Amino acid sequence: MEMNRKEFLKTLGVAGTAFAVSGFDGLDVFAQSEKKDEPVDLVAVMGAEPDVLFRKAIDELGGMGRFVQKGQKVAIKPNMAWDRAPETGANTNPLLVAEMVKQALAAGASQVVVFDNTCDEMQRSYKTSGIERAALDAGAKVLPANNERYYREVELPRGVELKSAKIHEALLDCDVWFNVPVLKHHKGTNMTISMKNYMGIVWDRKVFHRINLQQCIADVCTWPKKPVLNVVDAYRIMKQNGPKGISEADSVVVKALIASADIVAVDTASTKLAEQFTKVPLEKVEHITAGEQLKLGTTNIDSLNVRRVKV
């Protein structure tokens, strides 16, 4: 028998098993605010496979041509930090990454590269996540990120605690880049989404933990070369034991995707969606509010042109 929403949420707190959410409209946590004849600031799509979700989202945002011009070098930064299969929700879904590669190339990109400074051993993480194979098959180059020689130092004059960082050359040398995190619980920062995904573009991230983790995450996001789009994979949401997870039981299949150029707004919306499973409220994700204080974006989603779509 199909549960209603209230029964589902009550059961979720005690079941601890991975399953698909049938008939669940998680997008009602933030209002749709239609402003006709104006560009969409944030889009949330629900109800399909990751590649279909992205195709719908990018169409609502004006098409990939709004973000990628002919001849540009494009970098895609997913989360593939862990030696975990896609079913766990520990990494970005490979179907999403592959679709983004295909669309960037179709828009005229001269090259698309994919990388991540992984936490588990790089080659295992790249392979087990499924992203390496998916990206290669779609036409991208997959770059190593496990040696300091791939990084160059940049200044962060707007940073509060962090004043410089070594950034991967893929981002320094590209024309545009996409930030593509997976939405999940994190035991250190409570949630890991777009802002936290920046920790995979830097070499010297241990400094973050020694100084002030939450503030350093916000600080590194002040780097002027911002992603043209943050695409949050919420197909599976890891509701506990993040960021790596213990088993598939730590994740719930929601079949959603949220995208915006505003990194604070997209993480705010994503946290509101995830809160229904993680019980982590926005105020507990301190780097998001720190990002707003640094004027990286807004937590006031109601001020934006938001488009919600059910596929």
Q: Measure the CA angle with vertex 30, ends 28 and 34; round to 5°.
A: 100
Evaluate whether residue 9 is within a structural domain: no
Number of structural domains in the chain: 1
CB 7 within 8 Å of CB 288? no
The pLDDT of 215-232, averaged and rounded, is 98
Looking up residue 226, the CATH number of its domain turns out to be 3.40.50.11440
Structure tokens at 69: 């011009």
Evaluate whether residue 60 is within a structural domain: yes
* Helix, strand or coil, per DSSP, at residue 224: coil
Q: What is the pLDDT of residue 65?
A: 97
The average confidence (pLDDT) of the chain is 91
Q: What is the pLDDT of residue 34?
A: 65
User: What's 158's DSSP letter?
Assistant: T
Higher pLDDT, 1 or 253: 253
Asked whether the predicted pLDDT for residue 272 surpasses 80, the reply is yes
Evaluate whether residue 133 is within a structural domain: yes
What is the band of 18 on the pLDDT scale with cuts at 50, 70, 90?
very low
Q: What is the pLDDT of residue 30?
A: 67
Evaluate whether residue 298 is within a structural domain: yes
Tens of pLDDT, residue by residue over 29-69, are 666 766 767 889 999 999 999 999 999 999 999 999 999 99
Half-sphere exposure of 210 (CA within 13 A, CB side): 5
Q: What is the pLDDT of residue 38?
A: 81
Half-sphere exposure of 191 (CA within 13 A, CB side): 33
Evaluate whether residue 196 is within a structural domain: yes
Evaluate whether residue 213 is within a structural domain: yes
Q: What is the pLDDT of residue 278?
A: 94
CB 230 within 8 Å of CB 259? yes
Tens of pLDDT, residue by residue over 121-143, are 999 999 999 999 999 999 999 99
Evaluate whether residue 277 is within a structural domain: yes
Tens of pLDDT, residue by residue over 189-202, are 999 999 999 999 99
Half-sphere exposure of 68 (CA within 13 A, CB side): 27
Asked whether the predicted pLDDT for residue 11 surpasses 60, the reply is no
Tens of pLDDT, residue by residue over 140-180, are 999 999 999 999 999 999 999 999 999 999 999 999 999 99
Structure tokens at 211: 């100084």
Q: What is the pLDDT of residue 26?
A: 66
Q: What is the pLDDT of residue 23?
A: 46
Higher pLDDT, 22 or 43: 43
| Long-range contacts of residues 32-41, Cβ cutoff 8 Å, at least 24 apart | 32/306, 32/307, 32/308, 33/302, 33/304, 33/305, 33/306, 34/305, 34/307, 35/305, 38/305, 39/305, 40/305, 40/306, 40/307, 41/260, 41/261, 41/262, 41/265, 41/304, 41/305, 41/306
Asked whether the predicted pLDDT for residue 3 surpasses 70, the reply is no
Q: What is the pLDDT of residue 233?
A: 98
Provide the residue type at 186 as one letter: H
Structure tokens at 105: 């190339």
What is the band of 208 on the pLDDT scale with cuts at 50, 70, 90?
very high
Q: How far apart are CA 64 and CA 244, in angstroms?
A: 31
Q: How far apart are CA 153 and CA 175, in angstroms?
A: 18
Asked whether the predicted pLDDT for residue 20 surpasses 80, the reply is no
Evaluate whether residue 4 is within a structural domain: no
Higher pLDDT, 20 or 175: 175
Residue 227 lies in domain: 15-310
Tens of pLDDT, residue by residue over 65-109, are 999 999 999 999 999 999 999 999 999 999 999 999 999 999 999
Q: What is the pLDDT of residue 25?
A: 59
